[in-house]
A and B are shown apart, each in its own frame.
Chain A
Amino acid sequence: MQTSNPLQKVILLLEEQGYTDDQVGDICGSLTKNAFSMLYTKAVSDFLDEDFQAIEDCASDEEANKKIMDVYTLRTGQDPYADMHIYLKAFAQTFLNQQKTI
């Protein structure tokens, strides 16, 4: 299967190397863990105490979500989706390059 998506390339490579669906699923779970770790540590280190208070004060979860996106972008310089894009691309490229050298 042809794909230009870097993470899908990693997964196809894993399949070629005999990884089962469950193993691929576990790896995606770990990727999520690490990605969340990156985003949350960034938020905790950059958000101010009053940011958390303002998020807590939001009347609904929808309002809070919008507030978090705004604060994240303001404090860290880019929104979490952009961070995720960079993270996954960097991960996949480094992984694929490493495979070429092995």
Chain B
Amino acid sequence: MANAEKLQKRQDKLAAREARRESRNEAVRHGISRYIHNFNPKDKDAMWWTGAVVSAGLTGLTVATGGGSAWAKTAFVGGVSGGFYAAEKGIYTLRKKHIEKKYNDTELATKMKNLQTRHENGALRVQRLLMGVSAGAVYGGATGAAVEAGNAIINKSFELRFPTANEVKKGFEDLGNTPLKNIVTEPYGVAVDGINTVHELLTENLYEDVLTPIGHGFRDAWESEFVQSKIHTLVEFGNQVKDVAVDVTTNDFNTPEGVKRVADPVVTAIGGAAVTLFAADQVRRRNRRKTRRQTA
């Protein structure tokens, strides 16, 4: 009995430690994702570049650890903020040594702004990759996950921010070509894993994390006849999925409720994804027209 109790205690302790680790890792992932989703370099001037990237080395952690909130002040007394400041200042000095051989901060910010205008797609591709590398390395370092695993998670969420027109088109084509029976007849565990991933990536904080950074034109795009008609199509699509789900109850699921449990999130996720992509595409097209008019 004593041994059983000891074993139980040990198992409880391990489970608690694992839960603690998972909770921390999730917070790390959210912290990193928040920064990525809020980073939107489109149409920004040199002043923004100075603040966003050039001076970030010295300001980032100072804000995180000493931004004026009560906990930060407490931390400062404890010396944590001081430690961050010293570490970041050292890194910043090293970085400045490299950069200042060629440019000062103002010149560099101007160069970044001009690059964004001259080679928008090239600059976005470089930003996206380097953001993925930095986020993946920090996530991997903080959680002990392999860098590749961190990259995969971060890149997936980052990709949502800049869907290209072709990706939007392909997204809808894929949606139209999705073999519905395959979705709902997948072995239950696999289906649920897939659905959870889609859910997490596409519908979690849909408005705040994905749509807000795309631009202030979101409301117009959302209310446009084009997007509204697509929403209607998606609702119809969702109903079809449900019908199919009921038809296949005998294959992999024991009850209609079981199928519904799988089918409903699929409808939500795919619908959310497609609407997001269409709304994004609308904003993109509108901004492109605006830029063309300004250029002309």
Contact = CB atoms under 8 A, between A and B. Distances in A.
Contacts of B183: none
Contact of B95 (A41, A55, A68): A41
A45 B54 contact: no
Interface of B: 17, 23-24, 26-32, 34-36, 39, 53-54, 56-57, 60-61, 63-65, 71, 75, 78-80, 82-84, 86-88, 90-91, 94-95, 98-99, 102-103, 108, 111-112, 115, 118-119, 121-123, 125-131, 133-135, 137-139, 141-144, 147
A74 interface: no
Given A33-B60, A85-B137, A56 B125 contact: yes
DSSP class of B's interface residues: helix, strand, loop or mixed?
helix
B129 A68 contact: yes
Interface residues of A, number: 65
Contacts, number: 216
Closest 8 CB pairs of A and B: A25-B31, A56-B122, A21-B27, A102-B79, A7-B141, A37-B56, A35-B134, A25-B27
Contact of A22 (B27, B36, B75): B27
B108 A45 contact: yes
A87 B141 CA distance: 11
B88 A34 contact: yes
29 contacts: A1-B17, A14-B80, A21-B26, A24-B27, A26-B31, A26-B34, A30-B61, A32-B36, A32-B135, A34-B57, A34-B61, A36-B131, A36-B135, A38-B95, A38-B134, A39-B133, A39-B134, A40-B127, A40-B130, A41-B54, A45-B108, A56-B122, A61-B128, A64-B122, A64-B125, A90-B87, A94-B83, A95-B84, A95-B86
A38 B125 CA distance: 16
Contacts of A40: 53, 112, 126-127, 130
A94 B142 contact: no
B57 A37 contact: yes
Contacts of A38: 57, 91, 95, 134
Contact of A52 (B65, B126, B138): B126
Given A53-B119, A84-B134, A91-B91, A102 B83 contact: yes
B108 A91 contact: no
Contact of B98 (A11, A20, A23, A42): A42
Given A5-B144, A29-B31, A56-B122, A34 B91 contact: yes
Contacts of B29: 25
Given A5-B141, A37-B53, A56-B122, A45 B103 contact: yes
A91 to B, nearest CB: 5
Given A37-B56, A81-B137, A91-B91, A42 B126 contact: no
A16 to B, nearest CB: 11
Nearest to A100: B83
A41 B142 contact: no
Contacts of A17: 75, 78, 80
